[in-house]
Chains A and B, each alone.
Chain A
């Protein structure tokens, strides 16, 4: 057990702290996607090596040596200093790693630099109305007509579709092949003829998602990543990245710190909530869970550093992290009582309504990125060696 990062890393940490104190007041906060301020700041962070750190310079990255601890320290210090970090989004977090691994040289040069700079925004076209947990049963079709794919079908839960320039999309190109082998991974522009976008308002009353409909959308034949029929494997090459980042225990820890303050501020019948032993007990239960997941996260990181797979500790992190976060936000709502029901532009809101919003949003994250139940299938089958769910080619009982 050695939890120190070592002197060279502590020097690196200090360098970042100095950077943050120098630029903290000038960093843009909440700048809209593709705004001049957002792009300028993103390019500055790349130049400094605080985002896109290990992506080669020829693709618009910083070109640093891979070093997980440096990446970790950047994340820790930016969170600690409440400094806006590099851009996320599905283009940067999902498509760029996919292209780096499986894209052609031409695709890398064309797409990665503007994506990293925030000039080219992407959305992800995976889920469909009838292909959620069973994603591989997706039906949006692409048929080759001369030098172009012709796409028909629809996608759902598509974040940022209304802002995106491009989409990376899973489509069925081989209708006669087994379902996992009939899918291809295509890239196309969102202003193509035949695309309709309808906002999908979620329970937070925010249009975080969209439905996207394709009618005879024509896409050049070479805008495919990997080969025809290999799209499932292209998508899976990086799906693990998304699961790992949902329910990050360090973000949960900073929520817990704020919750402890909130419980000292809020009162019931004139008594501070924290002085009520039942509330206090609930807080302590949550704190122990946060602690255990933080150490679990360190254990997973440590395995990665040693180039081994932690397996079970890794597999449980999305399930436990999102469930814990939802429970934590619930405790904050209960701490506020009726004030915890306020929503929208209420003058009674605490912390700008973030508790109410996150409470609901994390219900979404328990479902998105592989539901808790799908996670339990994965844990039991791949982690514990239990039998796989039976798979059926045709609809079974219970469905007409």
Chain B
């Protein structure tokens, strides 16, 4: 019985945190956000040297073959630093989609390059989970027509998309009939775009099964929840640090009970959330009968907790929390993005109810 991170997971967490502390200070995040999303090559290269892109990829394809909980740990670190890297779309979602649904030759073709981080893949599967107006792709053999909305990392070499029958495809960024329109959004640490396809050649992942798709979505939801967890922890840490330095009425504001209680409430929400995220990451690999339900609840719960932390931490910072100068909003917005992507809380809670036979 040991509910917690292993030595390996803790050392992974430590080495990634050390790297991100050094290489991704807020100024670097700003530079990325203001650069019209020039790829953050320096940050990604550093993570590649640590083996991060290969975390979920089997060793025979050049990865390090760790599990979902390790990906969760990495995602938490990345969210904590609001780091502008394609880890989620490429190393978690595309790597898993290809491993779960790809043919042997597709695995051999793509996984080794994904594992080194040389290949990055954008993510255009938001139609699989809560399709909004204007999206939807139809397929005819190996060609696709329609639009994928809210595509993450749209400038990557390949894009993973899903058609309306929930089959997965890889599309080359430069393929015929593909055009991309940037979607300016609040979270400037993660570029998104609409990808329009017009009879565009695509490569299907032939093993796309409902259970494989479900496992992919579950993993995505838990990984995004971990990103929110890391961002929330940072917002609490920043709130405490600010409250111990800012003085009003001749005392640090962190000595006022109103402020202390706001911080206590944030901690009281974050700690059980951390336990939930760890368990959900563990369940993905080890407790298959619970993994879908825990992934839904984790996504919904972390969305609510993150929203609460985002608001409360900003308020503790007073007027400064509202400024661009302080930059706290990068975390607030990151949490806001995670809340909507792959299903907002109401959508996911309804799914949790359905799994348990509570929806007639």
Partner-B contacts on A (CB < 8 A): 1-6, 69, 260, 272, 274-275, 277, 280-281, 283-285, 287-289, 291-293, 295-296, 298-299, 301-303, 305-306, 312-313, 316, 319-320, 373, 375-377, 379-381, 383-387, 389-390
- Beyond the given pairs A289-B272, A291-B297, A298-B279, 18 more chain A to chain B contacts, judged by CB atoms under 8 angstroms and listed by A's residue number, are A1-B279, A2-B2, A260-B356, A281-B346, A281-B349, A283-B353, A284-B300, A291-B276, A295-B279, A299-B3, A313-B272, A316-B272, A320-B272, A376-B261, A379-B268, A383-B267, A384-B260, A386-B260
**A313 CA / B267 CA spacing, docked (Å):** 9
Question: Across the two chains, which residue of chain B brings its CB closest to A312?
Answer: B271
Decide if B350 touches A289 in the complex (CB within 8 Å).
no
Q: Which positions 247-264 of chain B face chain A at CB distance < 8 Å?
A: 252, 254-255, 257, 260-261, 263-264
CB-CB under 8 A for A296 and B275, given A283-B353, A302-B3: yes
Q: Would you list the 3 A-B pairs with minimal beta carbon distance, nearest first?
A: A380-B260, A376-B264, A292-B272
Decide if B297 touches A284 in the complex (CB within 8 Å).
yes
Decide if A386 touches B350 in the complex (CB within 8 Å).
no
Decide if B276 touches A319 in the complex (CB within 8 Å).
no
Task: Determine the chain A residues whose CB is within 8 A of the CB of B356 once the complex forms.
Answer: 260
Decide if A305 touches B1 in the complex (CB within 8 Å).
yes
B142 at interface by CB-CB < 8 Å: no
Residue in B3, B254, B261, B349 whose beta carbon sits within 8 Å of that of A285 in the complex: B349
CB-CB under 8 A for A389 and B257, given A302-B2, A312-B267, A312-B271: yes
Task: Determine the chain B residues whose CB is within 8 A of the CB of A274 once the complex forms.
Answer: 358
Decide if B276 touches A292 in the complex (CB within 8 Å).
yes
Total contacting residues, chain B, CB less than 8 A? 46
Residue in B4, B265, B279, B358 whose beta carbon sits within 8 Å of that of A280 in the complex: B358
Task: Determine the chain A residues whose CB is within 8 A of the CB of B244 once the complex forms.
Answer: 386-387
Decide if A376 touches B6 in the complex (CB within 8 Å).
no
Question: Across the two chains, which residue of chain A brings its CB closest to B2?
Answer: A2
Decide if A376 touches B271 in the complex (CB within 8 Å).
no
**A376 CA / B266 CA spacing, docked (Å):** 10
Task: Determine the chain B residues whose CB is within 8 A of the CB of A379 once the complex forms.
Answer: 264, 267-268
B309 at interface by CB-CB < 8 Å: no
CB-CB under 8 A for A302 and B1, given A295-B272, A320-B272, A376-B261: yes
Task: Determine the chain A residues whose CB is within 8 A of the CB of B271 once the complex forms.
Answer: 296, 312-313, 316
Task: Determine the chain A residues whose CB is within 8 A of the CB of B278 once the complex forms.
Answer: 1, 295, 299
CB-CB under 8 A for A1 and B260, given A291-B297, A295-B278: no
B273 at interface by CB-CB < 8 Å: yes
Decide if B4 touches A299 in the complex (CB within 8 Å).
yes
**A380 CA / B236 CA spacing, docked (Å):** 12
**A91 CA / B264 CA spacing, docked (Å):** 32
**A284 CA / B273 CA spacing, docked (Å):** 15
Task: Determine the chain A residues whose CB is within 8 A of the CB of B301 once the complex forms.
Answer: 288-289, 291-292
CB-CB under 8 A for A384 and B264, given A284-B349, A296-B272: yes
Decide if B261 touches A373 in the complex (CB within 8 Å).
yes
Decide if A3 touches B3 in the complex (CB within 8 Å).
yes
26 residue pairs A–B, Cβ–Cβ below 8 Å = A1-B6, A2-B1, A2-B2, A5-B1, A260-B356, A274-B358, A277-B350, A280-B350, A280-B353, A280-B359, A281-B350, A284-B300, A284-B352, A285-B304, A285-B349, A288-B349, A289-B272, A292-B276, A295-B272, A298-B275, A306-B2, A313-B271, A320-B268, A377-B257, A384-B260, A387-B244
Query: Which residue, B240, B265, B298, B350, has most C-beta atoms of chain A within 10 A?
Result: B265
Task: Determine the chain A residues whose CB is within 8 A of the CB of B257 once the complex forms.
Answer: 377, 389
Closest beta carbon of chain A to B271's beta carbon, Å: 5
Query: Which residue, B6, B350, B353, has most C-beta atoms of chain A within 10 A?
Result: B353
Task: Determine the chain B residues whose CB is within 8 A of the CB of A376 once the complex forms.
Answer: 260-261, 264-265, 268
B5 at interface by CB-CB < 8 Å: yes
Task: Determine the chain B residues whose CB is within 8 A of the CB of A295 once the complex forms.
Answer: 3, 272, 275-276, 278-279
Task: Determine the chain B residues whose CB is within 8 A of the CB of A377 once the complex forms.
Answer: 257, 260-261, 264
B294 at interface by CB-CB < 8 Å: yes
Residue in B240, B265, B282, B294 whose beta carbon sits within 8 Å of that of A1 in the complex: B282
Q: Which positions 274-327 of chain B face chain A at CB distance < 8 Å?
A: 274-276, 278-279, 282, 286, 294, 297-298, 300-301, 304
Task: Determine the chain A residues whose CB is within 8 A of the CB of B294 once the complex forms.
Answer: 291
B75 at interface by CB-CB < 8 Å: no
Task: Determine the chain B residues whose CB is within 8 A of the CB of A384 once the complex forms.
Answer: 240, 260, 263-264, 267
**A6 CA / B6 CA spacing, docked (Å):** 18
Closest beta carbon of chain A to B337's beta carbon, Å: 20
Closest beta carbon of chain A to B287's beta carbon, Å: 8
Decide if A380 touches B1 in the complex (CB within 8 Å).
no
Task: Determine the chain A residues whose CB is within 8 A of the CB of B358 once the complex forms.
Answer: 260, 274, 280, 283
Question: Across the two chains, which residue of chain A brings its CB closest to B5?
Answer: A1
Task: Determine the chain A residues whose CB is within 8 A of the CB of B286 once the complex forms.
Answer: 1
Main secondary structure of the interface of B (DSSP, over half): helix
Question: Across the two chains, which residue of chain A brings its CB closest to B9?
Answer: A1
Closest beta carbon of chain B to A324's beta carbon, Å: 9
Closest beta carbon of chain A to B63's beta carbon, Å: 21
**A385 CA / B2 CA spacing, docked (Å):** 27
**A74 CA / B358 CA spacing, docked (Å):** 32
**A3 CA / B5 CA spacing, docked (Å):** 12
Closest beta carbon of chain A to B7's beta carbon, Å: 12
Task: Determine the chain B residues whose CB is within 8 A of the CB of A285 once the complex forms.
Answer: 300, 304, 349
B243 at interface by CB-CB < 8 Å: yes
Decide if B3 touches A316 in the complex (CB within 8 Å).
no
Residue in B5, B69, B265, B300 whose beta carbon sits within 8 Å of that of A288 in the complex: B300
**A285 CA / B305 CA spacing, docked (Å):** 11
Task: Determine the chain B residues whose CB is within 8 A of the CB of A281 once the complex forms.
Answer: 346, 349-350
Decide if A4 touches B1 in the complex (CB within 8 Å).
yes
**A313 CA / B4 CA spacing, docked (Å):** 12
Closest beta carbon of chain B to A92's beta carbon, Å: 26
Task: Determine the chain B residues whose CB is within 8 A of the CB of A298 once the complex forms.
Answer: 3, 275, 279
Residue in B263, B274, B298, B349 whose beta carbon sits within 8 Å of that of A386 in the complex: B263
Decide if B267 touches A386 in the complex (CB within 8 Å).
no
Task: Determine the chain A residues whose CB is within 8 A of the CB of B349 once the complex forms.
Answer: 280-281, 284-285, 288
Decide if B350 touches A1 in the complex (CB within 8 Å).
no
Question: Across the two chains, which residue of chain B brings its CB closest to A388?
Answer: B255
**A102 CA / B301 CA spacing, docked (Å):** 44
Task: Determine the chain A residues whose CB is within 8 A of the CB of B274 once the complex forms.
Answer: 313
Task: Determine the chain B residues whose CB is within 8 A of the CB of A293 once the complex forms.
Answer: 272
Closest beta carbon of chain A to B283's beta carbon, Å: 9
**A383 CA / B298 CA spacing, docked (Å):** 24
**A376 CA / B264 CA spacing, docked (Å):** 5
Closest beta carbon of chain B to A134's beta carbon, Å: 14
Closest beta carbon of chain A to B158's beta carbon, Å: 33
**A159 CA / B271 CA spacing, docked (Å):** 33
